[in-house]
A and B are shown apart, each in its own frame.
Chain A
Amino acid sequence: MSRRTLAVVSAGLSQPSSTRLLADQLAGATRDELVRRGAEVELRFVDLREHAHDVVNNLLTGFPPAALREALDTVTGADGLIAVTPIFNASYNGLFKSFFDVLEAESLVDRPVLIGATGGTARHSLSLEHAVRPMFTHLRAVVVPTAVFAAPEDWSGGAADGALRSRIRRAAGELAGEVERRLPSTGPADPFALTTDFLQMLGRDDAPVTPPGRTGERPAPGSARAGSPPG
């Protein structure tokens, strides 16, 4: 049985929040589907409201404070992402965008993502397609075909067998399928990992340079090139 983590990002600003409610339902349905397929699932919720000041500070200073670092690592280290935003002015809200703006470059490449949104009227529903989906496409994430928008009328009446419920189930099935066919995540990428060595860096540059202080061939890494350290 494989162990999977789903990060659930909600950019709702009010408490309680219909955005978080939609996020909960998407998360629950995806978890149920993955469990049905034999996985063990952990849900990790990131409510952006709690990180609002830190997100702005990160934009200004270039680094995340510790609590935000943890939230970012949760998102970049998960097997799948559920990202839900309220629609403001026909797009994601500023907090949602800013959070994804401070992620490390390329940290969501090939990550399965389910997008959802809430709004004051169903006329905003295509905001998911013209604003939210292109942002994740730019990040080279894999956004599942079904995006879920919840308007006020979706919350009224019998949601149990309503149209919203069936869209949630369909989207959850798509996300579970994308998660299932990938290897489990190995956690967030390490930005300080050295992915090259010096000789490669010189070689990549195609420069016919000779080694420091001598005219012979460059020594293999690990050989005592310069003898003892200066001083």
Chain B
Amino acid sequence: MQFGVFTVGDVTVDPTTGREPSEHERIKAMVAIAVKAEEVGLDVFATGEHHNPPFVPSSPTTMLGHIAARTERLLLSTATTLITTNDPVKIAEDYAMLQHLADGRVDLMMGRGNTGPVYPWFGKDIRAGIPLAIENYDLLHRLWREDVVDWKGRHRTPLQSFTSTPRPLDGVPPFVWHGSIRSPEIAEQAAYYGDGFFANHIFWPKEHTQRMVGLYRERYAHYGHGSADQAIVGLGGQVFMRRNSQDAVREFRPYFDNAPVYGHGPSLEEFSRETPLTVGSPQQVIDRTLGFREYVGDYQRQLFLMDHAGLPLKTVLEQLDLLGEEVVPVLRKEFAALRPAHVPEAPTHASLVAAAGGAKDSTLHAVDDVTGKAPEVAR
């Protein structure tokens, strides 16, 4: 099982000091969090993608490329990549490039984005959110698997004899997750392709996660990718820890009370009861997290949100120490002991290469190096 952190990348005032970090500080803090994640033994760092203040990560592959150069083992991912407003051609190019630079330590999670005004900035319309996600991803999926693509759709200009470069590393595209809170169409999409499904599982009741994962598993089996319990599931989670649980509650409460999304609404206690938020000791986090399995089944990836609501970097890094030293080692052991042998791990570049029968150089050389004539569409 993979463990990691995912970040929204918000610039938020620290409610206890009134201090707001600069964009520069926040960007550097995100990198520090990623580097720390590897140092404490976590497996995954995933960044959000946003194109409006107060968020900084508008250019995920720039950030992930930098982190790739500063880490050895960490898997780099997104939470989420906007499949609606990004050009699928650019996603194909950017993430294939990142995949080469990171030697395969890359996967990504597709999401729609729920901020209406962002869509028209990129020439799109939020009312077409689902059709955009379906059409764009279908094109992206082909661009990574077919060397030369002829394509025509409704939401982008047609392509004729187009080759997305670089070709995926070793001939194997990055693994893709599809993230959604409550759109059954996205669970269906993930199931159709045999891709992973990620339930964000923060800020919302567990029932949403349970229903969406249940649907995805059922449809995954329906489309013949394996049995329902072999589907690839990831979950989010939100925690704040101190060794003494009262200290955790006392320290986190002002951040909770003033947080974007849920602040000034339910109490910390109500929200902890209604959603997977866990504020307490490392043992409480372990117990709650092990409980997720009871309503989604054995799953492959657990990402935690650790750095939002204005928490200072120093505090976040302390949280990562607790997560890496006290929580994740226990979770790894416990989850592994519970998981039946036929339930797979999350796919990695290495496992995908092995499944494809080994690495192959997928560079597309011109057929005629005198005329530079391009290869033709496969018949």
Contact = CB atoms under 8 A, between A and B. Distances in A.
Contact of B224 (A61, A62, A222): A222
Given A198-B189, A224-B224, A228-B226, A60 B153 contact: no
Q: How large is the interface on B (under 10, 10 to 19, 20 to 34, 35 or more residues)?
A: 35 or more
Given A201-B185, A205-B153, A192 B211 contact: yes
A18 to B, nearest CB: 31
Contacts of B223: 198, 221-222, 225-226
A197 B134 CA distance: 12
A228 B193 contact: no
A65 B135 CA distance: 35
Interface string A200-230: 0110111111101101000001111111111
Contacts of B192: 198
Q: Is the interface of A mostly helix, strand, loop or mixed?
A: loop
B188 A196 contact: yes
Contacts, number: 133
Which of A194, A221, A227: most chain B Cβ within 10 A?
A194
Interface string B121-152: 00000000011001100110110011000011
B153 A209 contact: yes
B225 interface: yes
B274 interface: yes
A223 B225 CA distance: 9
A194 B154 contact: no
B194 A226 contact: yes
Contacts of B135: 202, 205, 207, 209
**Which among B146, B189, B223, B344 has the highest number of chain A CB atoms within 10 Å?**
B223
A74 to B, nearest CB: 17
Contacts of A198: 134, 188-189, 191-192, 223
Given A198-B191, A209-B135, A229-B225, 7 more contacts: A62-B203, A65-B270, A192-B215, A194-B185, A205-B135, A209-B138, A231-B352
14 contacts: A57-B265, A57-B266, A61-B266, A63-B274, A65-B270, A192-B212, A192-B215, A194-B215, A201-B130, A202-B138, A207-B153, A215-B378, A215-B379, A231-B345
